[in-house]
Amino acid sequence: EAQVTQNPRYLITVTGKKLTVTCSQNMNHEYMSWYRQDPGLGLRQIYYSMNVEVTDKGDVPEGYKVSRKEKRNFPLILESPSPNQTSLYFCASRPMGTERENHEQYFGPGTRLTVT
């Protein structure tokens, strides 16, 4: 089954304790990205990657890191989490090809993070 998986689905942590949220896709997609979703603000892009070893900042990259060592994996790293990073996080992937495929962005199930 074609899918994007994220782990963990729920995480409660304390300020300053480094954490990693994993993301993996099995569709051989080149493009992967991370979003955070907050009430009233919608989905905002944190980082994206257009291929292995190619990453770039989105709209809200402060406090986050990513890496793309393999095509299928795109982990999100919070080196020193703070309470304002409490949010719902989504990983997404899509192919970079024909016009239709450019719009077919597949989302993971989400990770709800609480930082106290």
Minimum CB distance to another protein smaller for 20 or for 102: 102
Out of 2, 12, 14, 50, point to the residue binding another protein (CB under 8 A). Answer: 50
CA-CA distance, 91 to 107, in Å (whole number)?
6
For position 105 contacting another protein by CB under 8 A, the verdict is yes
Write out the binding residues for another protein, residues 27-46 only, by CB under 8 A: 31, 40-45
CA-CA distance, 65 to 68, in Å (whole number)?
11
Residues 6+ apart with CB under 8 A from 15: 80, 81, 82, 83, 115, 116
Q: Residues interacting with another protein, by CB under 8 A?
A: 4, 31, 40-45, 48, 50, 58, 90, 92, 96, 99-100, 102-105, 107-110
